[in-house]
Structure 1
Amino acid sequence: MARRTTAPPPEDFEERIVDIDVSAEMRASYLEYAYSVIYQRALPDARDGLKPVQRRILYSMSEMGLRPDRGHVKSSRVVGDVMGKLHPHGDSAIYDALVRLAQPFSMRLPLVDGHGNFGSPDDLPAAMRYTEARLAPAAMLMVESLDEDTVDFKPNYDGQETEPTVMPSAFPNLLVNGTSGIAVGMATNMAPHNLVEVVSAARHLIKKPDATLDELMKFVPGPDLPTGGSIIGLQGVRDAYETGRGTFRMRAKCAVEQITPRRKGIIVTELPYNVGPERVVTKIKELVTSKKLQGIADLKDLTDRHKGLRLVIEIKNGFIPEAVLEELYRLTPMEETFGINNVALVDGEPRTLGLREMLQVYVDHRLEVVRRRSEFRRRKREERLHLVDGLIIALLNIDEVIQVIRSSDDSAQARTRLMEVFDLTDIQAAYILDTPLRRLTRYDKLELDREKETLSDEIAKLTEILSSETKLRQVVSGELADVAKKYGTPRRTVLLEAPGITRTPVVDLQVADDPCLAMLSSTGLLARTPDASPLPGEGDRTAHDVLLSVVRTSVRGEVGVVTSLGRLIRVQVVDLPTLPPSNNPPSLSGGHPVSEYVSLQPDEKVVGLGSLDPDGPGLALGTAQGVVKRVVPDYPANRDDFEVITLKDGDTVVGAVELESESHDLVFISSDAQLLRYSASLVRPQGRPAGGMAGIRLDDGARVIWFGAVDPERPAQVVTVAGSSTALPGTQVGGGKVSDYAEFPAKGRATGGVRAQRFLKGEDELLLAWAGPAPAKAVSAVGKPVPLPEEIGRRDGSGVRLTHTIGAIGGALGSGPAPQRGDDARSSEDSGDE
């Protein structure tokens, strides 16, 4: 292994050590770093609204020919060209800036047309090797007339290239697209605005240079964010327009809609600026999990690229959607604060600008651009006119010109002799020598005359612009108007003047636990109505539908749906639709089918409703085999579905009623027209597993077709309909009879009862029966009214032939219709004319 040695310093070497104050060195280095960040990276120029990296991206893409009418190229090509020639600060910073220029949710008027995954408010974009880009149409407004000496150029970082110090910027990009950046010791955060509004304000300032802020705010009332939404409170906006600093609140655009037949929801279609749906969804789930936010049943993100943003927040029944929405605004990013800090570079110095100052800087810049452009164009036309004049002289003296050229020894001598003979300039003489002879014809003479006339007119117009400040301002104003007409879009953000908003406390999110009535109709509809409202059909003989069960409860309470198999299924009262209060509601047609709340087995039917109040008298049940049971109201709190009676094989529950008092009668009506009534006090309450006790003695072949409870202290009626047992269900109208309930004597439990109707020829059983508060009313199977015969005095008399088939019968309070034999009450979707 070779040994490494260090050569000694030469004899004349003199070691020099310079003492430097560390604090002074750090101060100088930090200031140099701060200067670089402020001027070369973080802050935009107030004239074109671009940071250096953004300006270099647009310039490089323009030089690469990536115009809107050309194809997209890989983003990595753009990034490489920008980094290699103009911006040696790393590819990630360049690509991040390129991506933002292409994002429609970040820029009010995007400057880059991106192809591929350029990210979302929640997600990062794909890598630059997977995306493609080209200039957007609006970007051509930023770079147009760069080649007409409209702006100054400076050397790039290594002096081998040049770049523009500012873009010509044919629209006020700083206000339209806004910007954000963090420098050293300062930061900027500007909100986007509507192009049409900003251009209108700029044109007003051009016309009236002494315009006040109030005048300008008539054109620019506030920011117009790319994501829409609404801005709450405009005082902060005015502060920002006046001083350059201010804050305002952004809110999501929401609507309360009926998303299912049973539930309402909040539909979110627009979110605050720089807020994505995933962020909102995550925050809502976090709040619901921690129980800091109540009333939300489900949350779905249905956002797609075709329909746009759509968040569906399903609200639990019993909660006020508007109050829940206020909590969402308070607790989630659905309402955010935007702090305006209008810091930009003006003449190389960072300044905080108000609305008028930003517009004035842009207008001054645009006036200078148009002036320099006009000077360039006039100079080019004057140079061309000078050449055209020389060609015309050559055409008028073509023979002499040819003779001079042929007699000259070389081109230099020919040029000199042409200048002497025809009084031409050096440029004109050289141009004549370079012009092919085929152009020196009579036809070209006419063309040159027309070109000379056109050039003279254009020079005169350009001279007029340059010599008149008023004309110059008119040109700038007209160009701005054309830009607004071509690229302007309607305002997206709604401005709301609301200095203070009253928040709804969390305790008020739920609806009040007011008393109400839960109702089940003969056509299988469930609904609720305020306790003070009249019941459907009360006092109206023509009302649609009758009630199978009515239970007094509260809005946030529970009721039980009792089925023919002896099951009780819990239903939240708040889930039931509310019938509007009225002196005479027409029907339960606004209710929802019971099938939306409970799942039934193939042969299972709903026979009634029951209260789940543990202090109430409980349910009374009657079965087809004559069993009666009063259920002890000791229901399990942790189960939504349980049995309330143990049935024998082949037996079913035919009636279930909420027993309001033990003084009421329990009533059985059998298929052989026997009616038995006795006091409910004769039946001892039993626990849920019990099978009940004998309720009525039945003859062979008979069965119970109706069971219920009747208050003997108020007028009541008994309705029976007889027919043939061999007829198909629903095909015979039968014979009906209406009797006074008082005609039927009370007897003991488990006895045979008394006859309720005498059968005529062709009648051998009751098709349906009912007993309850007078006056009785009948409806068809689809809920349409059916007339009943007049009441007769004899309890065991025969019936009168009916005119229509009866589907159900009910009373003044609807306590208990009976479905037709074999043709039970149908759901609301079958409702209609008979």
Structure 2
Amino acid sequence: MARGKTQQEPEDFEEHILDIDVGDEMRSSFLEYAYSVIYSRALPDARDGLKPVQRRILYTMNDMRLFPDRGHVKSARVVGEVMGRLHPHGDGAIYDALVRMAQSFAMRLPMVDGHGNYGSPDDSPAAMRYTECRMAAPAVAMTASIDEDTVEFRPNYDSRELEPAVLPAAIPNLLVNGASGIAVGMATNMAPHNLVEVVAACRHLITHPDATLDDLMRYVPGPDLPTGGTIVGLDGIRDAYESGRGSFKMRATARIEPVGRRKGIVVTELPYNVGTEKVIERIKQLVQSKKLQGISDVKDLTDREKGTRLVIELKNGFVPEALLEQLYRQTPLEDSFGINNVALVDGQPRTLGLKPLLEVFLGHRYDVVRRRSQYRRGKAADRLHLVEGLLIAILDIDEVIQVIRSSDNAGQAKERLIGVFELSEAQAEYILDMALRRLTKFSRIELEKEQSELQRTIEELDAILSDEQLLKKVVSDELAEVAKTFGTPRRTVLLQSAGSAAIEAQKMSVEVADEPCFAFLSSTGLLARTANADPLHTGGGRANHDVIVSAVATTARGEVGVLTSTGRLVRLGVLDLPAIPATAGDPNLQGGVPLSALLSLDAGERALALCTLTTEGPGLALGTRLGTVKRVNPEVLSKDEWEVIRLADGDEVVGAVQLQTGREELCFITSDAQLLHFGADGVRPQGRTGGGVAGIRVAHGSRVVFFGVVDPQDGAVVVTVSGSSSALPGTEAGSVKVTPFGEYPAKGRATGGVRCHRYLKGEDTLVFGYAGAGPARAAANSGVPVELPAAEGRRDGSGIPAGQPIDAVAGPVAVRLGLDVAPGTES
């Protein structure tokens, strides 16, 4: 019998054999695999900027109510919940995604608040059983209103639960945090950006749908990397914003400073995705292979308190600037980033430029706000229906009770209530379920109040649903609130060219004549000089990025001083500054060099102004945070730096200017909106060790926000920006006002001045002030220009909403230098 069964088996098997073409099978299987990788793993959705695993992590944490005000839980618990419910691809992939969303050096706006060892650019994190996590505040904004029918849901892998196809995403996450992933046949690599700049571009696009790329790049000039550093060369960035593909170079932020008895290179910021160990390993390889000479030691002093600090000690006899240039060329201190903006749009992978990326996100937000408004209107209408039924019942409560008591059962009571009082079935059921404590006079008053509030809510929601412009305004206002809540200042410096100022100075040191020129300092900390002094005499130009906050006349082989907020004056050679093209009017310093590359500033110390080093003239004028003013006698020491004022504890210099005649008007503006100006000749000059005299009387709890010099003959203006003292610095646009300087009368020194700004609702302080030559130009923290209103404000008037937070204001350079400018060309 066994033998007969064996003989029968081949016939049975032949009946189930199917001949197929191996090529077709391979093709079909590969396409299914590629489809799964592209749509379910590697590429982010252009609407919320998240890959499926990231979206599932945030959705699960929201379901687990792991909000920022709750305690941390084990990461393994979150990973297990995600894997069991939504993402059956292994715990390793889920934990890796969770870790990345918690790393501040990988995400510009982290979505997960991690507790424990979450790794570094060189080291992997601890195992998930050791780390803890919860949602970061931005993640709450990403999932806000998800339970209000704002997005579509779809079945999970086993069809037992539903998961969101996309998150509501109140934050433009794809541009802010970037993305990277390798799919099958395609990949994505998107750079992070600054939230405040992206939101400003979104709001501009809402009001100007036909905006060009140049218009949008005024708000988003380039990526803003989590690790800071410098981006060199902006042509590749424009290509990426236009076509979706491009590249740029990232440079570490380094400065030359004494290390013991020698000079060394101190690196404080590294390129994106580059760690200190990678740099150290490469330097050691170059030194051992004799390809790099002059380095004696490399120390990694990075810690959580001071941040990145890589110290490269140099041997005697080597030029630090030349070695730094070699390090940029041969080590990861300079790295490239290839932009490839591939994301899913309507389920299809597309390569997107800047404007399409913003349009897709805004379209998603329009849809979310529309669906949320419909949902809320439905809820309000249902509640209003029940409240109206309750009011009917309370008005005839005795008859309602009689009807219920005389009914045989609940069903009969419901039918009789519907018939007698013309109620709906829902209203009747709600009345039957009502507690007796609601049958009070006070409850009736509450119900009538709730009725009017619900009617008003429904009217507001109907207006949003029926008016497209109002809906767009809601989206714009919500984006402004997001930027105010989560926005931070720009970390990455943008440079137009890759030229090294130090190397160029060495190459040109023999060729450059000691001709007159101007040295400039911009609001973003860039230094540069013009090739000669002639172009500024003609006026007529205007920079399209950044503003010049300080300018002095000097010579190409001369020296200038840099005045800082700690009262230091630091000597700086003009030849070390890069020469920028000779353009008419205010120059554009995008080709300048960061001040940190030439000077070493202490933590919290800021460069305020440039000055000439001379023992002639009326000297300098300084104003401090606590209202002290000082005129400094001209004095030049044989040192690299020296103090020019003795500061009291808790005080700092807020403004420093070089006087031209000694008869200018000195001006203070305080945070409680007081302005005082008086003649500089009323302040007795002191030596550098003096502590100054009383300038303005500052009220308790207030401070000086501006000190400067004003020449009323230059069409001077006063710019004031009000805001809330509870807002994070640099996140609130505030209200801006521009007023002719002549509106403010002069007062005696050491008085309180006159009122210069009236607050609007919600404002209680001046966050910025400026007084000086007009017409004034403003810039944001990133250097992006901010439009100012006309100089028509009243002395004690209020401002109008600013486009974005103002970080610096300055007048025309030529006017401030006292040059002859043709009428109408100074702007």
After TM superposition, the score normalised by the length of structure 1 is 0.59
Q: Is the partner of 1:240 in helix, strand or coil?
A: helix
Residue in structure 2 matched with residue 302 of structure 1 by the alignment:
301
Match of 1:283 in 2: 282
Aligned partner of residue 349 in structure 2, secondary structure:
strand
Q: Does 1:26 align with 2:54?
A: no
Structure ID, larger Rg: 1
> How far 1:7 sits from its partner (Å)?
11
Distance 1:263 1:237 in 2: 39
* Residue 238, structure 1, aligned to residue 238, structure 2: yes
- Aligned partner letter, 2:214: D
Task: Describe the shift of the 1:181–1:112 C-alpha distance in structure 2 as closer, same or farther (beyond 3 A).
Answer: same
Where do 5+ consecutive residues of structure 1 fail to align? 512-588, 592-834
1:493/1:12 CA distance change after superposition, 3 Å: closer
**Map 1:363-442 → 2, pairs under 5 A:** 363-442=362-441
Alignment partner of 1:124: what SS?
Answer: coil
Q: 1:210 and 1:475 mapped to 2: Cα distance? A: 20
1:227 paired with 2:227, answer: yes
Change (3 A) 1:112 1:7: farther
Match of 1:336 in 2: 335
**1:72 positional shift:** 0.6
Letter of the 2:461 counterpart: L
- 2:170/2:479 contact within 8 Å kept: yes
Which residue does 2:208 correspond to in 1? 208
1:279-304 CA distances to partner (integer Å, 9 max, x unpaired)?
Answer: 10111111111110011122111111
Q: Deviations over 1:336-383 (max 9, x none)?
A: 000000000000000000000000000000011001001100100000
Q: Deviations over 1:576-599 (max 9, x none)?
A: xxxxxxxxxxxxx999xxxxxxxx
Amino acid at match of 1:251: R
Question: Closer, same or farther in 2 for the Cα pair 1:7/1:71, shift >3 Å?
Answer: farther
Match for residue 487 of structure 2?
A: 488
Aligned to 2:321: 322
Shift of 1:410: 1.1
CA–CA distance in 2 between the matches of 1:201 and 1:409?
67
Q: Aligned AA for 1:27?
A: R
> Does residue 149 of structure 1 match 2:124?
no
SS at match of 2:188: strand
1:16–1:434 Cα change, 3 Å: same
Give how far 1:9 is off.
6.2
Paired with 1:98 and 1:399, the residues of 2 have a C-alpha distance of 61
What's the secondary structure of 1:495's corresponding residue? strand
Alpha-carbon distance, 1:169 to partner: 0.4
1:637-696: CA deviations, max 9, x gaps? xxxxxxxxxxxxxxxxxxxxxxxxxxxxxxxxxxxxxxxxxxxxxxxxxxxxxxxxxxxx
How far apart, CA to CA, are the structure 2 residues paired with 1:477 and 1:329?
42
Shift of 1:12: 9.4
- The code of the aligned residue for 2:410 comes to S
Q: Which residue of 1 aligns with 2:125?
A: 125
**CA distance 1:226–1:415, change in 2 (3 Å):** same
**Aligned residue number for residue 783 of structure 2:** none
Aligned counterparts of 1:37 and 1:208: Cα–Cα separation in 2 = 37
Contact kept in structure 2, 1:327 and 1:504, CA below 8 Å: no
CA distance, structure 1, for counterparts of residue 94 and residue 143 of structure 2: 19
Summarize the alignment of residues 81-96 of structure 1 with structure 2, pairs less than 5 Å apart. 81-96=81-96
SS in 1 for 2:249: strand
The 3 A distance-change label for structure 1 pair 152 and 590 is: closer
* Cα distance between partner residues in 2 of 1:150 and 1:329: 49
Do 1:234 and 1:495's aligned partners in 2 also have CA atoms closer than 8 Å?
A: yes
What SS does the aligned partner of 1:147 have?
coil
Q: Counterpart of 2:70 in structure 1: which amino acid?
A: R
The residue identity in structure 1 corresponding to 2:387 is: V
Match of 1:177 in 2: 177
Q: Does 1:272 align with 2:249?
A: no
Task: Look up the SS of the partner of 1:146 in the other structure.
Answer: coil
User: Quick one: which amino acid aligns to residue 239 of structure 1?
Assistant: D
Alignment-derived partner of residue 562 in structure 2 = none
Give 1:259 deviation, angstroms.
Answer: 2.0
Give the deviation of 1:16 after TM superposition.
2.9
Give the conservation status (yes or no) of the 8 Å contact 1:244–1:340: yes
Q: Residue by residue, what CA displacement relative to the aligned partner does 1:770-822 show, whole Å, maximum 9, x if unpaired?
A: xxxxxxxxxxxxxxxxxxxxxxxxxxxxxxxxxxxxxxxxxxxxxxxxxxxxx
Distance 1:357 1:402, change over 3 A: same
Counterpart CA distance in 2 for 1:338 and 1:56 is 28
Partner residue in 2 for 1:779: none
Distance 1:84 1:91 in 2: 10
**Paired residue secondary structure (1:148):** coil
What is the aligned partner in structure 2 of residue 794 from structure 1? none
Q: Secondary structure at the match of 2:101?
A: helix
Aligned equivalents of 1:140, 1:157: Cα separation in 2? 25
Secondary structure, in 3 states, of the residue corresponding to 1:298? strand
Task: Find the residue that maps to 2:147 and give its secondary structure.
Answer: helix
The verdict on how the C-alpha distance between 1:7 and 1:57 changes in structure 2, with shifts beyond 3 A counting, is farther
Deviation at 1:211, TM superposition (A): 1.0
- Alignment of structure 1 residues 182-197 onto 2, 5 Å: 182-197=182-197
Q: Is the 8 A contact 2:387 2:451 kept in 1?
A: yes
1:539-592 Cα deviation digits (max 9, x unpaired): xxxxxxxxxxxxxxxxxxxxxxxxxxxxxxxxxxxxxxxxxxxxxxxxxx999x
Q: Secondary structure at the match of 2:298?
A: strand
**Once the two structures are superposed, what CA deviation does each residue of 1:69-116 show, in whole Å capped at 9, x if it has no partner?**
111111110110000000000100000000000000000000000001
Partners of 1:590 and 1:447 lie apart in 2 by: 77
The separation in 1 between residues aligned to 2:12 and 2:135, in whole angstroms, is: 63
1:380–1:23 distance in 2 versus 1, CA, 3 Å: same
Residue type at the aligned position of 1:404: V
The match for 1:48 is 48
Tell me, yes or no, if the aligned pair for 2:321 and 2:502 is still in contact at 8 Å. Answer: no
Q: Describe how 1:373-772 pairs up with structure 2 within 5 A.
A: 373-498=372-497
For structure 2, list consecutive stretches of 5 or more residues without a partner in the other structure: 511-637, 641-827
Whole-Å separation in 2 of the counterparts to 1:159 and 1:10 = 40
Q: Which amino acid aligns with 2:168?
A: P
Contact 1:110 1:136 (8 Å CA) reproduced? yes
AA partner of residue 216 (structure 2)? L
Residues 745-778 of structure 1, C-alpha deviations (whole Å, 9 max, x = no match): xxxxxxxxxxxxxxxxxxxxxxxxxxxxxxxxxx
Q: Distance in 2 between matches of 1:263 and 1:397?
A: 94
Whole-Å separation in 2 of the counterparts to 1:207 and 1:413? 59
Partner of 2:711: none
TM-score normalised by L of structure 2: 0.60
2:667 matched residue in structure 1: none
CA distance in 2, matches of 1:168, 1:176: 16
User: For residues 99 and 16 of structure 2, what CA distance do their matches in structure 1 show?
Assistant: 51
CA deviations over 1:692-738 (Å, ceiling 9, x no partner): xxxxxxxxxxxxxxxxxxxxxxxxxxxxxxxxxxxxxxxxxxxxxxx
Between the aligned partners of 2:13 and 2:276, the Cα distance in structure 1 is 70
Partners in 1 of 2:10 and 2:441 — Cα distance? 84
8 Å Cα contact 2:325-2:500 kept in structure 1: no
Do 1:230 and 1:253's aligned partners in 2 also have CA atoms closer than 8 Å? Answer: yes
Q: Distance in 2 between matches of 1:236 and 1:30?
A: 35
Alignment of 1:166 onto 2:173: no
| Alignment length (residue pairs) | 511
Q: Deviations over 1:375-429 (max 9, x none)?
A: 1001000000000000000001111111111111111111111111111111111
The runs of at least 4 consecutive aligned structure 1 residues that moved more than 3 Å come to: 5-14, 499-505
Q: 1:7 to 1:75 in 2, by over 3 A?
A: farther
Which amino acid in structure 1 is aligned with residue 79 of structure 2?
V
Alpha-carbon distance in 1 for matches of 2:11, 2:218: 81
CA distance in 2, matches of 1:251, 1:590: 31
Q: Secondary structure in 1 aligned to 2:350? A: strand
Identity of aligned residues (%): 69
CA distance in 2, matches of 1:268, 1:404: 84
Deviation per residue, 1:289-326 (Å, 9 max, x gap): 11100111221111111101101111111111000000
Equivalent position amino acid for 1:129 in 2: R
